[in-house]
Structure 1
Amino acid sequence: MNLPIKPKSLPMSFRYGDEQLAFERVKRPLATASILIKVHPDCRIVVSAPENANNEDVLCAVKKRGRWIYQQLREFRKQLEHVRPRQYISGETHYYLGKQYLLKVNEAPDQGQGVKLLRGKLEVTVRNKDADRVQEQLSRWYKARAKEVFSRRLDAVLEQALWVADKPPLRILSMKTQWGSCSPKGRITLNPHLVKAPRECIDYVILHELCHIAEHNHSERFYRLMRQVMPEWEKTKERLDGMAKLFIT
């Protein structure tokens, strides 16, 4: 079962002032009657609602929070005005394990190429300051770190996953639409971009896939397992969803 970077959703919208605001309705798996509204840093409005809630009730709940939603959007839009596409030059910020690091590009024609994390900076050494070369070196570095970090975190969370008898095989694969997946034979595949996220977000994705070893579908049994091993998993998922656009670059 795949864990998508962006959850399946139903597009809806409502009018606030002179603006028609679009939002995504997603299924809230917990057994609760409440409707959860979240405005993400990339200005996505996501409404988590129980499956049995009709669209009229969801729309009514969203309209009641219209002013708050608009204020959140206004703040995030101001922040996004200063966000530019990555150019892979010195001074940019890049993420690793949930923290931001300044990028420093060193041009050294006679030295080996590579990346080092030194004194709060990601230092990339290349033979010439070509953006594609810098991006390539960073991608290799992230994949190498991902392999090490994910293996350690898998060992750690396996102590909670008592239904898993042996450590499952782990594969690192770049994906645009998924954080991870679990094959029918129990092989776990994780997206190297996930290593840019905080540790608890990495643990959440790994636990999600480990739960699929016991229950391949998103059944009530699956969510019971998730609640047992990570009671606050929904909040962690929301945090990861909100930062996805910062990591998948």
Structure 2
Amino acid sequence: MSQKFPEVQGGGSLIIAWQVKEKNVLVVGGGERGIQVAAGRILHALNADARVTVVCPSSGLNDEVAFRIAEKQVSHIDRNFEPQDLDAADMVLCAVDDPEASTRVWKLCKERRIPANIADVPSECDFYFGSVHRDGPLQVMVSTNGNGPKMASIIRKKIAGTLPDNTGAAIENVGLLRKKLREVAPDLKDGAKRMKWMSRVCESWSLEDLVEMNEADMSQLLDYYKSGEVPSLKAIRDTQ
């Protein structure tokens, strides 16, 4: 009986896409190495549409973080971290060169139940940053659970190298088609049929076809939803 089910492999992380849009992310930076790491953390948070506040003395900023502050992409508190900085934080990303200061931030976050990542200290992290490949809506993350960040980067590059060009554009078109399909068949009872039909589209059309598909093609394709058919892109255009 047990052979019918996947084997449990402990020691992993729960890999999820954490929605932080419009959430308050506090970045605590400091030190030459720390502010470099903080710059990467800031970009990750901004890419996820978070509201970012950076706590770091101006003297400790690097060019990238100073640029984002000057462009008002992030808010800046020009001093070292203080406990009251956590009052409005939904998430904390700490990257400072002082281990004692890092642990202080971690303990305060635990007291307030604020999820935190303390750079380079896996034992003081509620979550890890992986190595991410980004192509429009496509995000592929490789995590080594804090064991080898450089290995994560190497593996991520190998995976990215196998992906066809324009994968992101194809995904954007599939997303638009799904949105239009929900307008055509909005009832909850149609959920299983919608999923099955969209799966057939993704499996039967080539990546190139999905990239090339325009809104006129989508309208034509949606006419076949009720019957469950999935004609080719060529067949659709031959009827236009």
TM-score w.r.t. the length of structure 1 is: 0.23
**Greater helix proportion:** 2
Q: Which has the higher contact order (CA 8 A, sep 6+)?
A: 1
TM-score w.r.t. the length of structure 2 is: 0.24
**Greater strand proportion:** 1
